[in-house]
Amino acid sequence: MTSGLKLEQAVGIVSTASKLKGNNVVTNIIGAILRSILVWILVITPSVILTGVVVENSMMVVLIAFLAALFTFVEYFFKYPSIIEFRFAAPFNRHRYITILAIVTSLSLMCKGVFEPTNLTLTVKHWGDVLGNAIDVPYSPVRLIILMLDANASIELVEIVRTAAGLAYAISLLSLVIFVLLVRIAKWPSKSGAFNVWVNLPLFDPTGGGDVLVRLKRDSSINIIFGFLLPFLIPAVVKTATDLVGNLTMDDPQTLIWTISAWAFLPASMIMRGIAMGRVAEMIEEKRRRAYAQSDAQTA
């Protein structure tokens, strides 16, 4: 009788584990699909907003959106990511996604306003003008990206680029401020549970040699420094390259939107990564300190 009960309990445990595993698989599939749809929306946003304004190769946009969505699905479906970092430390990637979506959407509405003015597009363009003129000072990132244009660029194009750069740069700065508050006040990622360095930092090898804490702090500093320098370095590199292979034209709204978006988002993303890695290093250091204190207390 006892052995029969034990057998039934064992079967029940196996059945429950199987159901939980099945639920996890379904959850992973749904989450991966939703995230791939969000990436799809991001890629096609300029094309949707600018419909009827510019002529473009819609098939190319659909192909790029499909590839980006497929990559996202694969990354989030499998248990261990290969490239995407901080996958299990929400809301890091959500915050980055909202940032790039806000930049792309704002620039698309601004370009839409040039051809088909509405209350919304004119409001976005107005704030872009205000921010662009405020940030456009000597040696500023906005001034450098304007100098990246061809010397024969029209005044209208210069104004549009200034507006787009000011708007995108302001959004990226606001995003950084919000993320710093998220880390310092909300204590990210402590509330997300145990932080696994291996699955959240797939590009960082904890066994690569040397103290993990030292390497995390070093990589954090490198990311923050390069993040601050990139808005200044990108225009210089592009200007040098275009002098060799030809001038970069931003007359096409799609080129303008994605160029300015990348210029504003990539540095902000690098700084966020640096701040996040620094926060992880602080958590490891604090855990070590508690472990040493407990060891000393037990020894005493």
- As a whole number, mean pLDDT of residues 35-50 equals 93
Instruction: Say yes or no: 128 and 32 in one domain.
Output: no
* pTM as predicted: 0.86
Percentage of the residues of the chain whose pLDDT score is greater than 70: 85
Last residue of a domain, one of 79, 100, 127: 79
Instruction: Say yes or no: 97 and 236 in one domain.
Output: yes
Instruction: Say yes or no: 179 and 55 in one domain.
Output: no
Instruction: Say yes or no: 43 and 13 in one domain.
Output: yes
Give pLDDT tens digits for 166-200. Answer: 999 999 999 999 999 999 888 888 766 677 888 88
Given a cut of 80, is residue 10 above it in pLDDT?
no
Confidence at residue 20, expressed as pLDDT on a 0 to 100 scale: 39
SS3 149: coil
Which of 2-11, 24-33, 62-71, 166-175 has the least mean pLDDT? 2-11
Give pLDDT tens digits for 133-171. Answer: 999 988 899 999 998 887 788 898 899 999 999 999 999
Instruction: Say yes or no: 46 and 92 in one domain.
Output: no
Q: How many domains does one find in the chain? A: 2
Last residue of a domain, one of 32, 48, 79: 79
Highest mean pLDDT among 2-11, 199-208, 222-231, 240-249: 222-231
> What is the rounded CA–CA span in Å between residue 292 and residue 269?
35
Could you tell me which residue, 33 or 3, shows the higher pLDDT? 33
Give pLDDT tens digits for 49-91. Answer: 988 666 566 788 889 999 999 999 988 888 776 788 998 888 9
User: Which domain covers residue 8, as residue numbers?
Assistant: 1-79
Q: Are 168 and 64 in contact (CB under 8 A)?
A: no
Instruction: Say yes or no: 180 and 240 in one domain.
Output: yes
Last residue of a domain, one of 79, 99, 124: 79
Instruction: Say yes or no: 141 and 11 in one domain.
Output: no
DSSP of 71-139 = HHHHHHHSSS-SS--STTSTTHHHHHHHHHHHHHHHHHHHHHHHHS--HHHHHHHHHHHHHHHHH--TT
Instruction: Say yes or no: 23 and 165 in one domain.
Output: no
Rounded to 5°, the CA angle 90-95-97 comes to: 110
Strands (E), 112-257: none
Instruction: Say yes or no: 112 and 151 in one domain.
Output: yes
Give pLDDT tens digits for 83-112. Answer: 889 988 889 999 999 999 999 999 999 998
> What is the rounded CA–CA span in Å between residue 33 and residue 74?
9
Confidence at residue 101, expressed as pLDDT on a 0 to 100 scale: 97
Instruction: Say yes or no: 293 and 178 in one domain.
Output: yes
Instruction: Say yes or no: 113 and 224 in one domain.
Output: yes
Confidence at residue 26, expressed as pLDDT on a 0 to 100 scale: 82
Given a cut of 70, is residue 23 above it in pLDDT?
no
Instruction: Say yes or no: 29 and 143 in one domain.
Output: no
Confidence at residue 5, expressed as pLDDT on a 0 to 100 scale: 44
Confidence at residue 12, expressed as pLDDT on a 0 to 100 scale: 44
